[in-house]
């Protein structure tokens, strides 16, 4: 299976703890995106990478959030000092540069902050 892979699929944590999500994109895709989805809403853009460069960050991405994509392959999204409002589905997607907007999404990582 060469689709987008996300781990873990579900994370339950206590408020104040740090969590990290990993995304492995489709191997030939050089763009990688992170989105967040809460109940009743569409996916909201957080950030994206072209190769290893982080090209854009949403204002939704507070200082507690950091994303990396070392060597332009997999990516990690870390949330420090989690809050209950961080509870959401975190979606990763990848695409080729210069495409027509078609992003390929993983199954998501659901975060529950108690």
Partner 1 sequence: DQQVKQNSPSLSVQEGRISILNCDYTNSMFDYFLWYKKYPAEGPTFLISISSIKDKNEDGRFTVFLNKSAKHLSLHIVPSQPGDSAVYFCAAFYNTDKLIFGTGTRLQVFP
Q: Per CB under 8 A, which region of 13-21, 31-39, 62-70, 80-88 contacts partner 1? A: 31-39
Backbone φ, ψ for residue 77 (5° rounding): -120, 115
Residues 34-63 as x/- pattern, contact with partner 1 by CB under 8 A: -x----xxxxxx--x-x----xx-------
According to DSSP H, which parts of 9-114 are helical? none
Q: Cβ–Cβ contacts within 10 Å for residue 5, how many? A: 15
**Which tokens go with 75?**
């990516």
Number of residues that bind partner 1 (CB under 8 A): 25
3-state secondary structure of 85: helix
For position 91 contacting partner 1 by CB under 8 A, the verdict is yes
Residues that bind partner 1 (CB under 8 A): 4, 31, 33, 35, 40-45, 48, 50, 55-56, 91, 93, 100-108
């Amino acid at each position: 299976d060469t689709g987008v892979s996300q781990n873990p699929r579900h994370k339950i944590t206590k408020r104040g703890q740090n969590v990290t999500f990993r995304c492995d994109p489709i191997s030939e895709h050089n763009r990688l995106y992170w989105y967040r989805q809460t109940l009743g809403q569409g996916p909201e853009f957080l950030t994206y990478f072209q190769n290893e460069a982080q090209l854009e960050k949403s204002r939704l991405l507070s200082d507690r959030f950091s994303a990396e994509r070392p060597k332009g392959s997999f990516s990690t999204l870390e949330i420090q000092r989690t809050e209950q409002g961080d509870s959401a589905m975190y979606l990763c997607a990848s695409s080729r540069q210069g495409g027509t907007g078609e992003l390929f999404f993983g199954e998501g990582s659901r975060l529950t902050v108690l």
